[in-house]
């Protein structure tokens, strides 16, 4: 936690992949010409539907920043009020992590916030970072986990992530995965990966991670809802032993700008994929979250917010035949088992 260690029993229901502040403007993707003029201003009632359809085509939408900080505070207060216990904040190097905001959220809302270390995609790194050796990346991550953040020494990170790679995997990203594995093998800490948009990507990440000494049982593969559409391939990946995370809950638009031939699943379909993994006897490997990284998904901007899973998804899981005991495992026990480890002082 950004305020130090807390007993695992106090974590409560946990969102394992969220962001409070980040810069995603590098991932702008132009919308169709006929709607482009509607996307050049702030989010309003007039363009909200278009922003939902083309979220990466509105530059204003692509950052959580000083303007959204009050919204984050209000949402986290509601999250706590509605039964939320903890949030794992996944903003890593390359996305402009804000540790001081995480501290403020925990101080003012009583939600436990876990900060991450590690490296995002090569495409968003400064040249000086791109040229880092594996050993240098190891040193930064090890230090942030055991001593304190480079930019906020009084706060230790609680996990490595999100460690991101594209497809095919860039040399920098491969070094980052290998360095992550080497740190993990020493500290036994939890890690989270962001795969490229190919069904092959999660398998390749796990291969590199394991060959470098990483323990797959402490690894989360994020974004599987937008990465592996085939049920049999999903079950094959689950055999690796990694946590299988469906973390785009609340994204109900089938059109996916980054992969136009891929149909983004609905929340109901995400739950069906969870049921598939449950029926395969792998309840211990399931995690869920929203991965909020754009303004339009915040409540103040007309979105579902950080409490969407608590308020809407858990009830839908019950109506689709998932027991309360299993829901508690997915939202309380599995996050606790993944995030907890014996930290070095």
Which residue ranges make up the annotated binding site?
17, 19, 162, 194, 223, 291
The answer to whether 177 and 139 are in contact (CB under 8 A) is: no
Q: Which helix (H) or strand (E) holds 161?
A: strand 159-164
The DSSP call for residue 119 is B
Binding positions for a divalent metal cation are: 17, 19, 162, 194, 223, 291
31-39 contacts at long range (C-beta below 8 A, 24 or more positions apart): 31/57, 31/58, 31/257
Tokens of 334: 């599995």
Sign of the four-CA dihedral 345, 133, 95, 271:
negative
Degrees to nearest 5, angle at CA 120 with 291 and 286: 40
Residues 6+ apart with CB under 8 A from 259: 197, 226
Residue with tokens 């000083």: 66
- The Cα–Cα gap between 279 and 51 comes to 37
The DSSP call for residue 264 is P
Q: Exposed/middle/buried for 246, CB within 10 Å: 0-12, 13-18, 19+?
A: buried
Tokens of 281: 């006897």
């Amino acid at each position: 936690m950004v305020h130090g260690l807390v007993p695992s029993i106090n974590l409560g229901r946990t969102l394992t992949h969220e962001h409070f502040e980040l810069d995603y403007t590098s991932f702008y993707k132009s919308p169709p010409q006929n709607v482009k003029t509607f996307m050049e201003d702030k989010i309003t009632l007039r363009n909200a539907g278009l922003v939902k359809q083309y979220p990466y085509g509105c530059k204003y939408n692509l950052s959580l920043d000083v303007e959204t900080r009050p919204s984050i505070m209000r949402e986290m207060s509601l999250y706590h009020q509605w039964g939320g216990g903890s949030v794992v904040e996944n903003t890593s190097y390359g996305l402009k992590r804000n540790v001081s905001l995480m501290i403020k959220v925990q101080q003012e809302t009583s939600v436990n916030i876990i900060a991450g270390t590690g490296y995002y995609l090569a495409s968003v790194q400064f040249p000086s970072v791109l040229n880092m050796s594996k050993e240098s990346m190891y040193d930064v991550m090890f230090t942030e986990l055991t001593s304190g953040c480079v930019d906020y020494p009084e706060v230790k990170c609680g996990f490595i992530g999100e460690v991101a790679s594209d497809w095919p995997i860039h040399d920098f990203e491969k070094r980052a995965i290998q360095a992550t594995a080497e740190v993990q093998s020493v500290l036994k800490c939890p890690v989270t990966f962001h795969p490229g948009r190919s069904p092959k990507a999660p398998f390749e990440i796990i291969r590199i991670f394991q060959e470098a000494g990483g323990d797959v049982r402490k690894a989360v593969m994020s974004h599987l809802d937008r990465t592996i559409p085939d049920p049999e391939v999903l079950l094959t990946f689950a055999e690796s032993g990694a946590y299988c995370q469906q973390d785009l809950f609340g994204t109900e638009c089938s059109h996916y700008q980054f992969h136009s031939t891929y149909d983004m699943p609905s929340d109901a379909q995400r739950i069906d994929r969870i049921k598939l993994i449950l029926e395969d006897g792998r309840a211990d490997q399931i995690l869920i979250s929203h991965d909020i990284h754009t303004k339009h998904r915040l409540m103040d901007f007309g979105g579902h917010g950080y409490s969407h899973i608590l308020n809407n998804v858990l009830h839908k899981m019950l109506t689709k035949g998932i027991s309360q005991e299993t829901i508690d495992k997915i939202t309380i026990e599995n996050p606790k088992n993944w995030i907890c480890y014996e930290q070095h002082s």
